[in-house]
Amino acid sequence: MAMVTAGVEPASTLLAAPPSAWLAEWAGFAARLRYSDIPAAVTAHARLVLLDCIGAIAAGAQEAEVQALATRMITREGGGDSPVIGLAMSARPGTAAFLNGTSGTMLELDEGNQYARGHPAIHVVPALLAAPRADGAALLTALCLGYEIGARVGIASKLNVAMHPHGTWGTLGAAIGIAKMHGANAGEFTQAITMSSTLGLATSRKTMLEGGTVRNTYAGVSNMLGLTCWDLVRAGFEGERDGVATIFGHVSASDFKPDEMLHELGTRWELGRNYFKRHAACRYTHGALDAMALILAKTGKLAPEQVRSIAVETYVWAAQLDSPAAPNMLAAKFSIPFSLATLIAHGAATVPAFRAPAREDAAIQALAARVTVNEDAALTAMLPGLRPARLRVELTDGSVHSAEVTTNRGDIEDPFSESEVRAKFHELAEPVYGRARAAAIEEAVLALAPHREASALVELLAR
């Protein structure tokens, strides 16, 4: 009787039909990319993006829901070699990637990209930090590449208006970052791209508007699936010929433009066009918050009782955040009325400004109810390059104060300095790790380079 030996067909021979032209070019680019091909300014910025993500994850891990979830999952599965950032726990890679991705979105302080209309880095970093280690150059290259493909899909398509961007194109970012860490060839990248595009979630924008905290897990799922996708590739699973064009042209989104996937590829890096956040709230609130800060700089600190009314005019997506109700922290962060009221009461839109004592403050609640939010079509027309807001504040003494912004602090048009990003990291990380450990993490991130093992950083992340 003849023996039959089962084997896995190499990824380069998979697919009955050749991939579409843009996909073949992208996969070749991903396979050829080396650390030395990326401009030094971009890799330097990537270190800041990584540092910022670690701070957001560590601080978010202190939330009660994350800690309860981590305890449940690790108790059931057992521990592993990958750190649960910000907690004295370790887990299996997929579980750690899921938990760290979830933690990173809990506080609404993770970076983002206004052109992609989402948050690429938090869909990539947790997967990379949970994967087998490489040197610093490999980690930064994988981060830049994973960020690039996720952001470009966001740019090249129009996500359905009822969908939330978390957990959609970010899955590609995680999968391609992991594939790069494992030295994938062009055929394997082709499979990773097309398969991961079909593994995204059917998210709901309404979830965030209602304060449904399950939304915070969407990025975690993407990171976990990014690791799984690489296992699928190596096991010989196959995707469709161009899953990206199908999913982001017809299913989750529309009007997919493959030319956008290739335009200035390798010269215009999306990670270099990101924004950082200082307000601990949804990005759509930031224009109004920045305008309010301008008014407070003129009036001095105000008590909520001194404000008779606030009228906000802004772009369409921000105008949806018009409910003054803040039944939980997530709902508060997605409310322009509450965000403005708590900013006035606390002097800044910090993490504590959205916690239960602030949400239960009668004066803040009353002021939130005196805020109106409306869309101005002319402001909507400025998207995506600008994120404008216009405020009119009437005080009880009869005075009226106005301010308008077109860009948000932290955008590439008005960026935070490196020192400001590093200061934010310390504000978030020091309460978790202590000053000395936070400084060591910062030093390890900024020292990432060729022939410097990333394992030293990963070891520091475990409390």
pLDDT tens, 181-196? 999 999 999 999 999 9
Separation in Å, CA 86 to CA 74, 204, 244, 264 = 15, 28, 34, 38
Q: What are the pLDDT digits (tens) for 256-270?
A: 999 999 999 999 999
Give me the mean pLDDT over the 69-89 stretch.
Answer: 96
Q: How far apart are CA 244 and CA 248, in angstroms?
A: 6
Check whether 8 has a pLDDT greater than 70. Answer: no
Q: What's the half-sphere exposure (Cβ side, CA atoms, 13 Å) at 146?
A: 39
Burial class (CB in 10 A: 0-12, 13-18, 19+), 259: exposed
CB-based contact 245:6 (threshold 8 Å): no
pLDDT at 17: 65
Q: How far apart are CA 72 and CA 403, in angstroms?
A: 48
pLDDT at 385: 83
Check whether 3 has a pLDDT greater than 80. Answer: no
Q: For the chain, give the percent of residues with pLDDT over 70.
A: 96
Residue 5 pLDDT grade (very low, low, confident, very high; cuts 50, 70, 90): very low
Residues β-bridged to residue 112: 275
**In the 3-class helix/strand/coil scheme, how is 394-441 assigned residue by residue?**
EECCCCEEEEEECCCCCCCCCCCCHHHHHHHHHHHHHHHHCHHHHHHH
Q: How far apart are CA 459 and CA 81, in angstroms?
A: 10
- Of all helices (H) and strands (E), which one includes residue 81? none
Q: What are the pLDDT digits (tens) for 313-370?
A: 999 999 999 999 999 999 999 999 999 999 999 999 999 999 999 999 999 999 999 9
What stretches of 62-184 adopt beta strand conformation (E)?
82-84, 89-91, 158-159
Q: How far apart are CA 53 and CA 217, in angstroms?
A: 15
Check whether 20 has a pLDDT greater than 60. Answer: yes
| Pairing label, strands 307-314, 371-375 | parallel
pLDDT at 14: 46
CA nearest to 22, candidates 189, 166, 159, 238: 189
210: number of Cβ within 10 Å: 17
DSSP calls for 217-262 = GHHHHHHHHHHHHHHHHHHT----TTHHHHIIIIISEE---HHHHH
Q: How far apart are CA 291 and CA 340, in angstroms?
A: 10
32: number of Cβ within 10 Å: 10
pLDDT at 133: 74
CB-based contact 84:70 (threshold 8 Å): yes
Q: What are the pLDDT digits (tens) for 291-323?
A: 999 999 999 999 999 999 999 999 999 999 999
The alpha carbon torsion through 282, 345, 323, 162 (nearest 10 deg) reads 0
Check whether 7 has a pLDDT greater than 50. Answer: no
Check whether 9 has a pLDDT greater than 50. Answer: no
Q: How far apart are CA 171 and CA 187, in angstroms?
A: 19
Q: Domains in the chain, start-ordered, CATH in brackets? A: 11-273 (1.10.4100.10), 283-405 (3.30.1330.120)
Burial class (CB in 10 A: 0-12, 13-18, 19+), 322: middle
Check whether 459 has a pLDDT greater than 60. Answer: yes
Q: How far apart are CA 194 and CA 180, in angstroms?
A: 15
Residue 131 pLDDT grade (very low, low, confident, very high; cuts 50, 70, 90): confident
Tokens coding 185:
């060839």
Q: What's the half-sphere exposure (Cβ side, CA atoms, 13 Å) at 186?
A: 12
Check whether 6 has a pLDDT greater than 50. Answer: no
Residue 177 pLDDT grade (very low, low, confident, very high; cuts 50, 70, 90): very high
| Pairing label, strands 253-254, 158-159 | antiparallel
pLDDT at 16: 53
**In the 3-class helix/strand/coil scheme, how is 359-389 assigned residue by residue?**
HCCHHHHHHHCCEEEEECHHHHCCCCCCCCE
pLDDT at 222: 98
Q: What are the pLDDT digits (tens) for 193-243?
A: 999 999 999 999 999 888 999 999 999 999 999 999 999 999 999 999 999
Residues β-bridged to residue 390: 313, 404
Q: What are the pLDDT digits (tens) for 409-449?
A: 999 989 999 999 999 999 999 999 999 999 999 999 999 99
At 275 the three-state DSSP class reads strand
Q: How far apart are CA 153 and CA 150, in angstroms?
A: 5
